Amino acid sequence: MKVLISVDIEGVAGVYHPEQTHPGNPEYELARRLMTQEANAAIAGAFDGCASTVLVNDSHGTFRNLPPDLLDPRAQIVQGKPRYLGMMAGVEEGVDAVCLIGYHSRAQGRGILAHTINSFAFARVRFNDLELGEAGLYGALAGEFGVPVVMASGDDVFIEENQPLFPHASFVQSKRANGQTSGISLSPGQAASAIRSGVAGALAQRDRARPFVLTTPIAVRLQTQTPALADLFCQWPGLQRLDGDELGFDAPTVQAAVRMLNCLSAMSSMLR
C-alpha cells in the first residue's frame, strides 16, 4: 500500500500567527520543526497501518519547509515548486490513500490562519457553486485520480468544514480556534500521538473510504481580495469578469482548475 501525506503548517499544534509561517525568523524555525514532528507522526502511523511506501508532500508556502535530515528516513519527500499538482503532487505515483496533516479552514472562515491558497489574492473559491478551501480543492484533485482522503488533522473549524466532503475520513483535532490568530492547542507531543494513531486507524479502515469526486467540467468562481486583483487576473484570455472583485472560468478537469488558480496566485505578486 502506497500512502501520500500532504503536510501544511497552519493547522499544526502550537502555530497561531503569520510570523510562524514565513521564513526568515526564529518563530518560523520553531514552527517548521513542529510541522516536521507531525509529519513524522503521520509517517509512523502509515507504517503502523501496513503502508509499504510513504510519500510526504511539503505543502506550505515555498514547499521547502521540512528539513529532510529530520524526516523519518523511511519516507520519500516531495519538495520544491513550481509543480503541476501542488499540494497533491505524488498522487499520480499510484498511491492508495491520502492523509492531510496540519491543514486549515478556508478563506473567510473562523479558523486559525484561515485562507485559501493565497491570503493576499483569494477571498473565496467555488467549484460548481461549492465553496472550497485547500483541503476540498486538493481532495477533489486526489479524487480525480481515484484516491480517497482517509485522514486529516487541523483545528475544529477545519474539521467542521471538511467532514461533509470526506464523510468516511478520520479527523484529528490539533487545536481549537478562538479567532484568526488565537486558540487552545494540544501539546506537540499529544498532537503527534493522536496523529499517529489516527493515520494507522484510518488506513486499517481505508476500504470504506470513497474518493471525493466533482462533476466536470468545473465552473470556477473566484472572489478576489480587491478589484485590482480581478483587473490583473482578467488579463488572462478566457477569464470572465463577473463583478468588481469576482471572475469566473470553466475548466475541463479539477487539475486544470487548480493549475489555473496556482497560476493566478503567482500573478498576484505583481501587485504586492
Q: Who contacts 87 (Cβ-Cβ below 8 Å, separation ≥6)?
A: 6, 8, 57, 59, 134, 138
13-27, pLDDT tens digit by residue?
999 999 999 999 999
Interatomic CA distance for residues 119 and 105, integer angstroms = 12
Task: Provide the pLDDT for residue 203.
Answer: 98
- pLDDT bin (cut points 50, 70, 90) of residue 231 is very high
Question: What average pLDDT does this structure show over 100-125?
Answer: 97
Cα–Cα nearest to 195, from 34, 60, 73, 87:
34
| Residue spans per domain, the chain | 2-208, 218-271
Task: Provide the pLDDT for residue 117.
Answer: 98
Q: Who contacts 213 (Cβ-Cβ below 8 Å, separation ≥6)?
A: 140, 143, 144
145-203, pLDDT tens digit by residue?
999 999 999 999 999 999 999 999 999 999 999 999 999 999 999 999 999 999 999 99
Interatomic CA distance for residues 73 and 57, integer angstroms = 14
Q: How is domain 2-208 classified at the CATH fold level?
A: Rossmann fold (3.40.50)
Interatomic CA distance for residues 228 and 271, integer angstroms = 8
* End-to-end Cα separation, the chain, in angstroms: 43
Q: What single letter denotes the amino acid at residue 219?
A: A
Q: What single letter denotes the amino acid at residue 235?
A: Q
Task: Provide the pLDDT for residue 218.
Answer: 98
